[in-house]
Amino acid sequence: MAETHATTHTAHEAHAHHELPFMRKYIFSTDHKVIGIQYGITALCFLLFGFLLMAAMRWQMAYPNDPIPVVGGLLQKALGEDMVASKTVEKVNPDGTKTEVKIPGIMTPDLYNAFGAMHGTIMVFLAIVPLAFGAFGNFVVPLQIGAPDMVFPRINMVSYQCYFGGGVVMLASFFIPGGAAKSGWTSYSPLASIADLSHRIDGQTFWLIGMVLLITSSLLGAVNFIATIIQLRAKGMSWMRLPFFVWAQFVTGFLLLLAFPPLEAAGVMQLMDNVFDTSFFLPSGLVIAGQTIDVSGGGSPLLWQHLFWFLGHPEVYVLILPAMGIVAEIIACNTRKPLWGYKALVHSVLAIGFLSFIVWAHHMYLTGMGTKISTFFQTTTMIISIPSVIILTALFLSLWGGSIRFNTPMLFALAFLPMFGIGGLTGLPLGFNASDILLHDTYYVIAHFHYVVAPGTIFGLMAGIYYWYPKATGRFMNEFWGRVHFVLSFVFMNLVFGPMFLQGLAGMLRRMSDGGATYSITNSPGVEGALSEFVIHLNRDISRAAWLLGLAQIPFIINFFWSLKHGKKIESDNPWQATTLEWQTPTPPPHGNFNKEPEVHRGPYDYSVPGAKTDFSPQNQPI
Amino acid sequence: MEIPYTVTPRRDTGLYNAKVGIWLFLASEVMLFGALFSSYVLLRVGADKWPHGLLNIPIGTFNTAVLITSSVTVVMAWASLKLHQFNKFKIYMTATILCALAFVGIKTIEYKDKFTHYSVRLADGRTMDGHIKGSPLFWSLKKLKDKNVETIEFAPDAAHGAAAAAHGAEAAKPAAHAAGEHQFEIIKVSDLTYLSAYVPSHNTYFAIYFTLTGLHAAHVIGGALVMTYILLFGGKMWRTQPDRLTNRVEVAGLFWHFVDLVWIFLFPVLYLL
């Protein structure tokens, strides 16, 4: 006993010797697990911030030109009276005289546009991608392949810092004269170049600089991930023994690596247009407010759209693939049986990766680029739905005959399947040229891609948080409040995005700062195709559901922090009885991850192997 | 556990880590310049007329030679390390960096030539390209009016004779300029409807020219900085981890070849075609 005590004591001393100072350990860390957590926390903050922007916009849509309650005055103080107007009301005093009172908080169309553009930008580039790729990829991938760390730890750190810097630039843009970028997250030129002509350095410039930093961050991250997966797989970890999550991250890495640079090129050109008055995207004879603007002209607005969507479409798969990977891991673990069709899953994800580079112009059917090109992209778009359906089908079939454990991560993972299914299938009418002409730029599009990303990807990511939380902290998150979080999120997500399909089919366009009220039958009586009162009133119902969805996240936030100290302690390093390598390390994994280099003997999902003592056989267990 | 394969190659891939990293990075660089080249094609195809013969071909050719030379010397630097000749390595590395500096220097002169070369349009519809006396940088009509300048002395390119207007006009000019053969004519600022140097905002051709070559020059400078770092601080690593230094030079060299390769495409596309 005394001997063991002595050994632990010396071991502890040796450990203390390597203890890094606080700054090196938590702020400028090169440890992939710490960087993963940094990514995760920052991205969750941005996720909340992006949601709050939308919550404010939903007020303006539900009650156009009414001051925003509670925070209206605060918004006006922060963003200025140009952005947040006041409503003047007459108040009758007790003595019968009347005084005018100003109630601050009306969202101006400019602010609505800025919030809309930044909601999209923040959600895609600062919340979902960093959470899916930066956080889960960093924390889980090296552990799952049996590596001591990422292959380039210092580049990994710089990657996070670039992301953080990009986030700061984006946030700062709200407070500069003229406000943040207002031309949508797609920043279509020439709108993006002429939206704010009174300031040379405007919100759009900030947006572009922020994007360059974010692109640098994902570029460094992508190089690091791909090189790590190629070089640092443990002994015996052959390609077909990689967990599906690693495959998903591998393909995601390639998408980021090859799709982002064209946007960087486009960003540089738009920066030239905005700051040095070039005309890359400005056509000849562009007229603003009755005057031809003083530029050389000869540019092509279509060029921006091609370059943007060359990134934009692979980006959609960057958003979805990591979530698919997480869901696959959780389903295999909680059905206690191997994934159905592992090889088909791997080949499908590779096919998606390749095809996603040749579908981009299906976002551009209405630009007049020509019917032959449209036909090509319509065909490839239909083809890419095949591997997506294979993946979804394989995951559904994996449930067949399993003895399913319905814990919180599994509930989120199961909900991912139908939600992503709805998102994917409603995309088909948008992929067809003929039906897209009708649906383009309506709320149908909004509903479609939010079903993919919000109840789809975010549910997948939530599942991942509940699933890997014990690995990072040594404690479970509270199961009851996890379920409350799940049920409420599930209900409100559908109440928010379901009715939008209806609004879109009724012809309600997106990006209207009054939620379409101008085109309602009340305000435009007798106009063909005006929106009915029912469609307009849905705005209020959707808004209420959206705010309740926000409240439904409170159990999660409290649970997340409360469980750090008070959650149920795990009883072993492998609390879910999983097979993959991340569960075969101490908890939380030390610097260097594994006490000795693991050797892999079997595939990733050896659950319920006939004749085995337990219903799971870890990858490093000899056959 | 330490990170493996930082110096020695992994058996099944046959590569050390940094080499995988640099090839992946170069793949993304191909996409970056590929996107810009595609933009060039799209803009040129969509243009009514595309300027031609505005760049100095002899200087461009010389710069191409400079860059190709540096690509050779960087390989020699790496080979010297493989042969354990550190002194030779230092010579070749210095030569590479000097070539990089020469390239950037020559590019700067070329840029300055453009920034002092003007295009004007008169109220009577005449358009002329040429130089303003004193070779001012970045003048614009707005700047002249703000400064209350009333007249400018302008020497049109056509003053050099009919041949000058044709292909290769630029090449003849610096000599003529030095000899003071410019025939300046005085133009009232009030007669001008347009005045711009050959800057990015002048037309789409110069926009893409400056963007492409500027981005390329940034890569040259970046590469030169890395190689200078290796040259100055490589001695210590050479004594302790010679293989690691050799790998570093190889990786920097791969990047350098890429930068060279981009120029090999840039030169014909912008200067010759």
Residue A3, pLDDT above cutoff 50: no
Identify the H or E element spanning B188.
Answer: strand B185-188
Residue A86 and residue A207 in one domain: no
A78 and A129 together in one domain = no
Per-residue confidence (pLDDT) for residue B229, from 0 to 100 = 97
pLDDT digits (tens, 9 = 90+) for A117-145: 999 999 999 999 999 999 999 999 999 99
Check the CA dihedral A600-A605-A608-A610 and report its sign. negative
Residues near B122 by beta carbon (within 8 Å), at least 6 away in sequence: B128, B187, B191, B192, B193
Residues of A in contact with B13 (CB under 8 A): 230-231
Q: Tell me the Cα Rg of chain B.
A: 24
Pairwise CB contact (< 8 Å): A153 & B24: no
Question: Which DSSP letter does residue A509 get?
Answer: B
Query: What φ, ψ does residue A580 adopt, rounded to 5°?
Result: -75, 165
Residue B167 has pLDDT above 50, yes or no: no
What was the pLDDT predicted at A394?
A: 97
Distance CA B133, CA B184 (A): 7
Query: Which pLDDT belongs to residue A532?
Result: 93
Residues A86 and A214 in one domain: no
Rg (CA), chain A: 26
Q: Evaluate whether residue A253 is within a structural domain.
A: yes
- Selection from A155, A156, A234, A230 nearest residue A582 by Cα: A234
Q: What domains does chain B contain, in order, with CATH numbers? A: 17-113+204-272 (1.20.120.80), 117-197 (no CATH)
Confidence at residue A293, expressed as pLDDT on a 0 to 100 scale: 86
Nearest CA in chain B to A239: B12
Mean pLDDT of A4-20: 47
The 10s digit of each residue's pLDDT in A475-487 is: 999 999 999 999 9
| B7, two tokens | 């110096």
pLDDT grade, residue A617 (50/70/90)?
A: very high
pLDDT above 90 covers a percentage of chain B that reads: 74
The Cβ of residue A16 has, within 10 Å, a number of other Cβ atoms equal to 8
Q: Is A269 within 8 Å of B39 when comparing Cβ atoms?
A: yes
A508 pLDDT higher than 90: yes
Tell me: the pLDDT tens digits for A138-163?
999 999 999 999 999 999 999 999 99
Average pLDDT for residues A98-104, to the nearest whole number? 90
pLDDT digits (tens, 9 = 90+) for A252-294: 999 999 999 999 999 999 999 999 999 999 999 889 888 888 8
Q: Which residues of chain A does B202 touch, with a Cβ-Cβ cutoff of 8 Å?
A: 296
CB contact under 8 A, A258 and B211: no
Residue A22 contacts B where some CB pair is shorter than 8 Å: no
Count the Cβ atoms, other than its own, within 10 Å of residue B68: 13
- The partner residues of A235 in beta bridges, in order of sequence, read A599
Measured in angstroms, the CA of B20 and the nearest CA of chain A are apart by 6
In terms of domains, do A123 and A232 share one?
yes
Name the H helices within B168-203: 169-178
Q: Are residues A50 and A80 in the same domain?
A: no
Are A460 and A136 in contact, with CB atoms under 8 Å apart? Answer: no
Q: Which of residues 267-286 of A touch B (CB under 8 A)?
A: 268-269, 272, 276-280
Residue A167 has a pLDDT of 97
| Residue B159 binned pLDDT confidence (cut-offs 50, 70, 90) | very low
Q: Tens of pLDDT along B190-202?
A: 899 999 999 999 9
Instruction: Give A88's strand partners.
Output: A102
Say yes or no: B43 contacts chain A, CB-CB below 8 A.
yes
Pick the more confident residue, B56 or B168.
B56
Instruction: Give the span between the Cα atoms of B262 and B54, in whole angstroms.
Output: 21
A153 touches chain B (CB under 8 A): yes
Both A58 and A95 in one domain: the answer is: no
Q: Do B39 and A265 touch (CB under 8 A)?
A: yes
- Considering only residues B80 and A6, tell me which one the structure prediction assigns the higher pLDDT: B80
Does a structural domain hold residue A598? no
Q: Across the interface, do A152 and B17 touch by the CB < 8 Å criterion?
A: yes
User: Which pair of structure tokens corresponds to residue A71?
Assistant: 């925070």
Do residue A60 and residue A86 come from a single domain?
Answer: no
Q: What is the mean pLDDT of chain A?
A: 93
Contact B35/A223, CB-based, under 8 Å? no
Q: How far is B194 from chain A (nearest CA, A)?
A: 10
Q: Which two three-digit tokens encode residue A288?
A: 């603003």
Residues A200 and A85 in one domain: no
- Does A347 share its domain with A473? yes
| Confidence at residue A198, expressed as pLDDT on a 0 to 100 scale | 82
Residue A347 lies in a domain: yes
pLDDT tens profile A546-595: 999 999 999 999 999 999 999 999 999 999 999 999 999 999 999 889 98
Going by pLDDT thresholds of 50, 70 and 90, the confidence category of residue A10 is very low
Q: Contact at 8 Å (CB) between B195 and B139?
A: yes
Confidence bin at A309 (pLDDT 50/70/90)? very high
Tens digits of residue pLDDT in A326-343: 999 999 999 999 999 999
Which of B3, B36, B207 minimises the CB distance to A265? B36
Predicted local confidence at residue A18, as pLDDT: 62
Q: Is the pLDDT of residue B178 over 90?
A: no
Q: Is A599 on the interface with B (CB under 8 A)?
A: no
In a domain? residue A274: yes
Supply the pLDDT for residue A41. Answer: 97
Q: What is the CATH number of the domain that holds A230?
A: 1.20.210.10
Residue A220: its pLDDT value, please? 97
Looking at residue B109, its pLDDT comes to 96
C-alpha span between A168 and A164 (Å, rounded): 6
Residues within 8 A of A (CB atoms), B 202-241 only: 202-204, 207-208, 211, 215
- Percent pLDDT > 90 in chain A is 85
Q: Which residues of A173-195 are buried (b: 16+ CB within 10 A; e: fewer)?
A: bbeeebbbbbbbbbbebbbbbbb
Is-contact A212 A161, C-beta < 8 A? no
Number of C-alpha atoms within 13 angstroms, CB side, residue B262?
25
- What's the pLDDT score for residue B134? 87
φ, ψ of residue A195 to 5 degrees: the values are -65, -30
Q: Does A224 touch chain B (CB under 8 A)?
A: yes
User: What is the pLDDT, as a whole number, of residue A95?
Assistant: 87
Axis crossing angle, helix A459-473 with helix A32-62, rounded to the nearest 10: 140
* Residue A432 reports pLDDT greater than 50: yes
In a domain, A302, yes or no: no
Tell if the CB–CB gap between A153 and B13 is shorter than 8 Å: no
Q: How many residues does chain B have?
A: 273
Please report the pLDDT score of residue A251 as a whole number. Answer: 98
Peptide bond between residue A409 and the one before it cis (omega within 30 degrees of 0): no
Least confident of A44-53, A107-116, A170-179, B151-160: B151-160
A367 interfaces chain B, CB cutoff of 8 Å? no
Q: Which pLDDT score, from 0 to 100, does residue B157 have?
A: 85
The reply to whether residue B204 touches residue A230, judged by beta carbons under 8 angstroms, is no
| Per-residue pLDDT reduced to its tens digit, A448-469 | 999 999 999 999 999 999 999 9
Whether residues A88 and A151 share a domain: the answer is no
Q: Which residues contact A302 (CB under 8 A, 6 or more apart)?
A: A364, A367, A369
Domain-terminating residue out of A56, A87, A104: A104
Q: Does A234 touch chain B (CB under 8 A)?
A: no
Nearest to A33 by CA among A159, A142, A133: A142
**Between chains, do B42 and A303 touch, taking CB under 8 Å as contact?**
yes
Determine the average pLDDT of the residues in B222-228: 97
Residue A538: pLDDT over 80: yes
**Mean pLDDT to the nearest integer, A431-435:** 93
Q: Tell if the CB–CB gap between A592 and B43 is shorter than 8 Å.
A: no
User: Mean of the pLDDT values across residues A45-66?
Assistant: 96
Residue B165, pLDDT above cutoff 70: no
Partners of residue B122 on adjacent β-strands: B192
Q: What is the spatial distance between Cα B135 and Cα B142, in angstroms, rounded to a whole number?
A: 18
The per-residue pLDDT for range B114-132, each reduced to its tens digit, is 999 999 999 988 888 999 9
* Number of domains within chain A: 2
Q: What is the pLDDT of residue B164?
A: 41
Same structural domain for residues A150 and A169?
A: yes
B96 confidence band (pLDDT: 50, 70, 90) = very high
- Per the CB < 8 A criterion, the answer to whether A444 and A537 are in contact is no
**Cβ neighbours for A343, distance < 8 A, ≥ 6 positions apart:** A240
Q: Which of B32, B145, B212, B254 to mutate to test the interface with A (most CBs of A within 10 A)?
A: B32
**C-alpha distance across the termini of chain B, in Å:** 56
Which of A227, A269, A594 lies closest to B211 in CB terms?
A: A269
**Residue A312's Cα: distance from chain center in Å?**
13
Among B22, B29, B193, B204, the strongest candidate for a mutation testing the A interface, having the largest count of A CBs within 10 A, is B204
Bridge partner list, A101: A89
Neighbours of A511 (CB within 10 A): 11
Are A276 and B199 an interchain contact pair (Cβ–Cβ within 8 Å)?
Answer: yes
Model pLDDT, residue B158? 64
Which among B254, B2, B270, B36 has a CA at the least distance from the CA of A153?
B2
Residues 6+ apart with CB under 8 A from B77: B88, B89, B92, B93, B96, B249, B253
Nearest to B204 among A155, A299, A310 (CB): A299
Domain that holds residue A333: 32-64+108-288+311-584
- Check: pTM over 0.80? Answer yes or no: yes
Residue A13 falls inside a structural domain: no
Query: What SS3 class is residue A569?
Result: strand
Judged against a pLDDT cut of 80, whether residue B83 lies above it is answered with: yes
pLDDT band at A206 (very low <50, low <70, confident <90, very high): very high
How high does pLDDT run on average in chain B? 90
Query: Nearest CA to A58 among A457, A446, A453, A420?
Result: A446
Does B17 touch chain A if contact means CB atoms closer than 8 Å?
Answer: yes
| A297 phi and psi angles, rounded to 5 deg | 75, -170
Claim to verify: residue A100 and residue A117 sit in the same structural domain: no
